[in-house]
Amino acid sequence: MVRHMDILAEEMLELRERDPARYKRLIQEGMLAELGYDVAAKGSKTLTVDEVKAKYRPHEASFAAIANEVIAGHRAKVKDLVSAQLGHGKDPVDLVTNALMPGIQTQCELYDLGKAFVPEILMSNDAMQGGIQLCQAKLGDIPKKGQLATFVAEGDLHDIGKNIVAAILRANGFDVLDLGRDVPTAKVVAAARENGLQMISGSTLMSTTKAGLKRAAETLEEEGVNVPLACGGAAVSRSFVDTFGNSIYGKSPLDAVKIATEICSGKDWKAARQALY
């Protein structure tokens, strides 16, 4: 694997010299993929910029204002608006789901139209995180919906997507243990046993490390831990996840919330697949 990565690195360096524009685009798409966006679908949509904004724009004016500031990447303004809404008694989870998330969804689709770029998406994500942090703080000691964990497969050091999933799960009322990146299966199993986890979310950006998700899901089941694994990330597809048990595929960070809701309601991985697929 080390040799494989060395060759890939050499080829990328050669591409940077030979075709700087293409090199930059590949780097941007790699970063976007880590956020959970399907770059393979790029160019398939025909909506105009205004139509995309209208598609995701919240109906409530105060929520639409927050979404607009997320799109603009204005973290301070997002925090001011979210703080004001929380002061007026708005539900923190409602703010995350229906005010903050529409902003990042809009920005991702604008990228698909070639009207936004990775730096703008990263700025929007940062702005959204500012609002999510305030919502998480407001939730305080409200009873949690379930006990979860997140991790990145062994050998993979990319964790932007995992961080977003953890933040969104927390904002939706779940208690989340972040196991980090490059996590071996033994650590995943130990965490499940020691913390009474109901579900674990695993991800990877690289095809060379996605086998770690399969290994984790199967080991959890074989050792009688019976904690299902929600699998996602740029290198992961439903067809891959369907090749092994004790697993549910999620395409986006929001899918992790849907999967967690099903599992924490008492369903096993098979019933969750039936409900969501």
**What pLDDT shows up at residue 45?**
46
Alpha-helical regions (H) of 36-176? 49-56, 61-72, 75-87, 92-95, 101-112, 118-139, 160-171
Quote the pLDDT of residue 159. 84
pLDDT of residue 119: 81
Res 4: pLDDT: 47
Q: ∠ at Cα 188 (163, 264), nearest 5°? A: 70
Q: What are the pLDDT tens digits along the chain (277 aa)?
A: 444 445 555 666 666 677 777 666 666 666 555 555 555 555 444 788 899 999 999 999 999 999 999 999 999 999 999 999 999 999 998 998 899 989 987 887 787 677 887 688 778 888 988 998 899 888 765 567 899 999 999 999 888 778 878 877 886 778 999 999 999 999 999 999 999 999 999 999 888 999 999 999 999 999 999 899 999 988 899 999 999 999 999 988 778 989 999 999 999 999 999 999 9
Of 98, 100, 133, 104, nearest in space to 120 by CA: 104
pLDDT at 109: 74
Q: Convert 116-150 to b/e letters by CB count within 10 Å (16 or more is b).
A: bebebbbbbbebbbbbbebbbebbeeeeebbbbbb
Structural domains in the chain plus CATH codes: 37-139 (1.10.1240.10), 147-276 (3.40.50.280)
DSSP-derived letter for residue 100 is I
Q: Name the nearest CA neighbour of 227 among 268, 256, 259, 194.
A: 268
